[in-house]
A = this chain, B = another copy of it.
Amino acid sequence: MKQVLIKDLYRNTESFVGQKVELSGWVRTIRDSKTFGFIELNDGSFFKGVQIVFDEQLDNYKEITKFPISSSIKVEGDFIHTPQAKQPFEIKAMAIILEGSSNVDYPLQKKKHSFEYLRTIAHLRPRTNTFSAVFRIRSLASYALHKFFQERGFVYVHTPIITGSDTEGAGEMFRVTTLDLDNLPKNEEGKIDTTQDFFEKESNLTVSGQLNAEAYALAFRNVYTFGPTFRAENSNTARHAAEFWMVEPELAFAELPDVMNLGEDMVKYVINYVLEEAPEEMNFFNSFIEKGLLERLEQARTADFGRVTYSEAIEILKNSGENFGYPVEWGLDLQTEHERYLCEKVFKRPLFVTDYPKEIKAFYMRLNEDGKTVAATDLLVPGIGELIGGSQREEREEVLLQKIKDLGMNEEDYWWYLELRKYGGTKHSGFGIGFERLIMYLTGMTNIRDVIPFPRTPGNAEF
C-alpha cells in the first residue's frame, strides 16, 4: 500500500472513497473508552489532521490507548467518507504501529503556551498550530516571490553575504574573521594585521545586496535578490532581528513609478497566492491571531495603493490635529506612528510616500530637480508601517561622486560602483522588502522572533 499524505485526503477527497490507505504521522491527541478510541493524527503535510478510529479488535488496543502525545505512528485503515459530519472523512484503523514513542515530559501537551516560552523550544514549536501556519506561509510566500519575478523574466542573483564594503555607508555590521582572537597578529604600527585574515582585509556580513544587484541589472535589465542580510544593532524590539531575509529587485531603464507599480503588483500577487494555497492557515490567523486580518488583506489586494509626496504627507500630519509622540517637521524622518496614521487613518490602504528630503536618505538615491529631495519611496501598510523602501538610483556619475565625497565616504571603495555609471549607465531603480515584515503583514504576527524559524537577536544564537 502506498503511503498517502493527509493533504491529499483533503484536496482529493473523492478519489479515496472506498479505498484502503496507509498514513504516517504524529499523535496530536488521543482519547478512548473501553472498546474504542480516537487519535487525531497530523503528518505535517497539511494544517489539519485526520481522525483515526480504532477499536478493541486491534491486537494492541491497550498499548495504543497509552501512546504518549507526539508519538510517531503508522496507520493502515479504511477511508470512511462522512460528508454530513463536521469532519468530511475519517480513517477506520486496521492496524496501528508505533514507530517512535514520545516522553511524558513532552513540552507541548494540550495546554496553551506563550509565544515567549515557545521561543525557548524553537526546535519543537513548528508542531503547534500557530507556528505550523506561520512557517508554511513563510515557505509559500517565498515561493510566490520567486514565481512573481521569474514569470516576469527577472534574473535571480545571489549577491555575496561576506563583503569587504559597507553598502549603505551606515549600519552596524558583524565582522567575519578567521584570526585567532587569543593571538591576534599585529603590524608594525601595532594595529591588527588584517592582511593575515582570511580575505586579507577586514570583512563583514552584508547589510544589503543592492549595489551588487545594480551591477547585474546593468547586464540583465531586470534582476532580484533574495537572501539573508544582517544588522548588528543592539535593539531588543519586536521588529528587529540580527539576521533577516530581504528581497531586492533592481530594474534598468526604470524610473521611480516603475518600481512602485512593480511593488504594488508584487504585494498583491503574494497575498493572492497565500490566500489561494493556504486558506486554512489564513482563516486560523484571522480567527486566533488578528481579527480582521482577511478584511485588511482583501482591501490591499483590491485597492489601488495610495501615492503621496513626503511634503504633502508632512502637511497632512501637521493639519491632522493628532498628538504625536515624535515631532512632525519637514526634514525629519517619519516615525512608525506617522506612517501608520497616514495609511490607516487617512488613506485607509497601502500608501507610497515619495520624494523624501535628501538628508534623511541614502547616498545612492537620485537627486530630484528641486535639489532638495530624492526620488525615493516607502510603501506604508496598515498594521506594520514601512514594508518597502525603494528609490531611483543616481545614475549621473558626477552627481554620485560628489555625494560620496560630501559624505566623507571612501571613493576608492566604490570604484566598481562608479564604473557602472561610466560604461553605459542608464536610469535604474529598485527597492528592498524585509521578508519578515511581509510575513508579519500576511499573518498578523507581531514579533519578528515568531516569523523566523531560529531567530538571532542580541544574546540569542541558540539552536
Contacts and interface: CB of A to CB of B under 8 A. Distances in A.
11 contacts: A24-B253, A45-B153, A70-B424, A100-B421, A135-B216, A135-B220, A138-B156, A139-B157, A203-B461, A215-B463, A216-B453
A155 B135 contact: yes
A403 to B, nearest CB: 18
Interface in A131-152: 132, 135-136, 138-140, 142-143, 146, 150
A299 interface: no
A176 B178 contact: no
Given A172-B178, A178-B232, A7 B102 contact: no
A459 interface: yes
Interface string A235-248: 00000001101000
Contact of A228 (B179, B222, B228): B228
Instruction: Work out how many copies of this chain go into the complex.
Output: 2
Interface string A189-214: 00110000011110101000000100
B142 A156 contact: yes
Nearest to A199: B461
Contacts of A115: none
A6 to B, nearest CB: 9
B70 A454 contact: no
Contacts of A124: 215, 219, 419, 423
A368 interface: no
A111 to B, nearest CB: 16
A158 B453 contact: yes
Interface of A: 3, 5, 7, 24-27, 43-45, 70-72, 74, 99-103, 106, 121-124, 126-127, 132, 135-136, 138-140, 142-143, 146, 150, 153-165, 172, 174-179, 181-182, 184, 191-192, 198-201, 203, 205, 212, 215-222, 227-228, 230, 232, 234, 242-243, 245, 252-253, 395, 416-417, 419-427, 452-454, 456, 458-463
A100 B424 contact: yes
A216 to B, nearest CB: 6
Contacts of A221: 5, 25, 43-45
Contacts of A162: 174, 205, 230, 242-243, 456, 461
B161 A139 contact: no
Contacts of A245: 158
Contacts of A72: 252-253, 424-426
A103 B423 contact: yes
B45 A198 contact: no
A49 to B, nearest CB: 12
Given A423-B102, A424-B101, A458 B198 contact: yes
Contacts of A142: 146, 156, 158
Given A126-B215, A175-B176, 11 more contacts: A7-B153, A24-B426, A44-B252, A121-B416, A135-B155, A138-B156, A162-B174, A162-B456, A162-B461, A200-B458, A216-B453
